[in-house]
Amino acid sequence: MPLRDRNDFYAALDRFAALRRDLVPGFRWSADGCELRWTRSTGATAVPMVCMIGDAEPRVATAPSGHPQTEAMSGRAFLRETYLVPEIPAPEAPSPDGRWYASVQQGELHLRDTGGRAGRRLTTGATVAIAWDLETLGVDPWSPDGRWLFACRMDRRAVWRDVRTRFDADGGVRVDHPRVQRAGTAIDLVMPHLVPTDGGPALPIDLGEMQDHFLRLVGWLPDASAVVLLRLSRRLDLAELFLVDAAHAHARLVMREQCATFLRLDPIIWGGPTGCDLLPDRRYVWQSERDGWNHLYLGRLDAEPTVPLVQLTRGEMVVHDVVRYDEEFLWFRARSSGTRPYDLHLYRVPLTGGPARRLTDGDGEHEVLFSPDGSHLVDTFSTPCVAPCSVLRRADGTPLVQLEVPDSGQMLGPRWSAPEEVVVTAADGRTALHGVLFRPPGFDPDRRYPLLHWVYGGPQMRAAPTAFAPRGDNDILHHALADAGYLVLVLDARGTPQRSKAFQDVVWRSMIDHVVADQAGALRQLMRRHPWIDPQRVGVLGRSWGALFALHLLAHAPDLYRAAACIVPGFDPRGGLISEPYLGLPQDDPKPYQDAEPWSLPQRLDQRARVLLMAGTLDSPQQWNLQRMSRLLVESDISHQTLVFAEQEHVFEGHALRFHQRALRDFFDEALA
């Protein structure tokens, strides 16, 4: 790539990365809920704005200078070992009185004085293989009275140890052995405890068998009398809710749910929301797909586990999250089946029973921010093609005043072409699939353009954007590749979440076939529909599980794809626990894993096919995948390139991120010339 083109590509990456900052105003409420403040971006300048909420009609004005900012209490980060990657930064947990931060240091629970004085250690005896773990992301391990921390001892002695090469700044090389939770092998043995913060002995919690189980903290009761825990079977086909009293650490089973395939719990083991919200009167709201759609159910923590839950929502609806509740109502966001199944709206349902009512209008994904007293909310919504609009509403959904209507043309320039939302039919001949087609600047339907097909295909998450501003590095890359002259297609096949249970259950014991058929079939439909797609210049790319599907598509649809880029390739379906809910345990039935393996694909590739493999040295499972696949490609005489990024994990950062993005464009510029 010439230097000028390279710099233009980097500038496009920066421009689209800035969209998230420029298009999201950063609304914030005053403590009394009488004032809403945000920053309006007008190109190179940022204007502070304010909306006064009072007895009169709300009014929007430029905010006076020097207005106070409310800063949240912010601690440091500590490294936490997880099921997905060896270590990730986790935030320290502030105590209710603001005096302490809780974290894990060298395997022990620590308290750090927020006033700057030395902290203290709460536990002793940790080893490399048996150490303490503290869950802090999205939940609070502190009891409301500050007397207890919920924490777990983790016995990792039997967990698979991988090999990882590290490169020191002075040129030295060393090898370490991170733990990897592989499919079918031993996983962490979780031992839950209540740890007194005054330094007394930790109280073990007996939940019964914990081998081959996960455990998540749901939360504490407001009076600090008990903590609520969620135990999950390894295959995520069983969920059990426990109430543990703080006085004696005695556990009682509250609710049990089992499924013939898998529950909607996969994100939970990676630190996502538990799908269980505690109400202050010993009631809880549980999300379940038991009737074929993800709905809300109401239960009591003091009821017997045989008492059925009360269903709050019904119909062809997929609940996303609970936003707020009071004594009468529950506010939640959900997706409804129809022509736009991924639009996300705000709803309200009575806790005493009755139909749910939608409170927001306008196509797209709605993000909401309630005032502290719950009387008002900011509703910000957009689609992949239309920039976000922000409206102030009452809690019952009544619109009051429009706050922001950004001008995407001003930010992106007059030649920018909005993406196109596309709908095609799945390989079953009846199911509608939805995606986004990014288009080059100054798009001309009388020309022909090369196309890059971004595929993910993993059953635990979606890939196609549902909002306007880029949410992460992948979205930014899609925009920048389109800016460089490519059409970029991103589409979600059957087997992915946020639709009906039947839509996702297609992946049960069969990971590959439906994704390849749906994705290749979608591209063929779009080619028939759009003559401006050049059928001779089509490439496919994906990262992690997407790399696996990219290679499968290159092998199974040689009439469509000329080249594939495989980023941090998750080629080995046994490489992590993430496969188990969908494929089962490999020792129970190895066939689903064998069917998903890509090791025979090089023998099927067209000799003219081109392949790019890239991975970081610290992402050891994917690094070995890259090397094994490269060897097989060599044996099959398939032209390919490998890029190895020193000291990089599963997500590239810094210079490696930018270099890998530019390398992708260089590869396809040459391969699709």
> What is the tally of structural domains in the chain?
2
Whether 153 is in a domain gets the answer no
CA 149 to chain centre: 27
Whether 572 is in a domain gets the answer yes
Task: State the Cα angle at 208 between 204 and 211, rounded to 5°.
Answer: 95
Residues 77 and 89 sit within 8 Å (Cβ to Cβ): yes
CA 205 to chain centre: 30
Residues 132 and 153 sit within 8 Å (Cβ to Cβ): yes
Whether 574 is in a domain gets the answer yes
pLDDT at 73 exceeding the cut of 60: no
Where does the pLDDT of residue 424 fall: very low under 50, low under 70, confident under 90, or very high at 90 and above? very high
pLDDT at 71 exceeding the cut of 60: no
Q: Which residues contact 74 (CB under 8 A, 6 or more apart)?
A: none
Summarize pLDDT for 621-633 with one digit per residue, the tens: 999 999 999 999 9
Domain boundary among 66, 97, 123: 66
Whether 655 is in a domain gets the answer yes
Residues 130 and 154 sit within 8 Å (Cβ to Cβ): yes
What is the signed CA dihedral for 585, 586, 590, 595, rounded to 10 degrees? 90
Q: pLDDT at position 55, please?
A: 72
Summarize pLDDT for 445-497 with one digit per residue, the tens: 999 999 999 999 899 999 999 999 899 999 999 999 999 999 999 999 999 99
Average pLDDT for 566-581: 95
Residues 435 and 491 sit within 8 Å (Cβ to Cβ): yes
In one letter, which amino acid is 448?
R
Spatial distance between the Cα atoms of 419 and 440, rounded to a whole number of angstroms: 9
Spatial distance between the Cα atoms of 287 and 319, rounded to a whole number of angstroms: 8
**Which domain range does residue 458 map to?**
419-671
Whether 562 is in a domain gets the answer yes
Place of tokens 């001779």: 536
Domain boundary among 66, 85, 116: 66
Spatial distance between the Cα atoms of 283 and 241, rounded to a whole number of angstroms: 13
- The CATH number assigned to the domain holding 472 equals 3.40.50.1820
Where does the pLDDT of residue 2 fall: very low under 50, low under 70, confident under 90, or very high at 90 and above? confident
Whether 49 is in a domain gets the answer yes
Whether 551 is in a domain gets the answer yes
The neighbouring-strand residues paired with 48 are: 39
Domain boundary among 36, 66, 96: 66
Query: Which residue, among 498, 189, 144, has the nearest Cα to 335 in the 3D structure?
Result: 498
Where does the pLDDT of residue 3 fall: very low under 50, low under 70, confident under 90, or very high at 90 and above? confident
Summarize pLDDT for 334-355 with one digit per residue, the tens: 999 999 999 999 999 999 999 9
Helix and strand element counts for the chain (H, E): 10, 40
Average pLDDT for 173-192: 93
Average pLDDT for 258-273: 84
| pTM of the model as a whole | 0.95
Q: pLDDT at position 66, please?
A: 57
Whether 432 is in a domain gets the answer yes
Enter the tokens of residue 453.
């097909």
Average pLDDT for 148-177: 91
Summarize pLDDT for 201-257 with one digit per residue, the tens: 999 999 999 999 999 999 999 999 999 999 999 999 999 999 999 999 999 999 999
Q: pLDDT at position 70, please?
A: 47
CA 646 to chain centre: 25
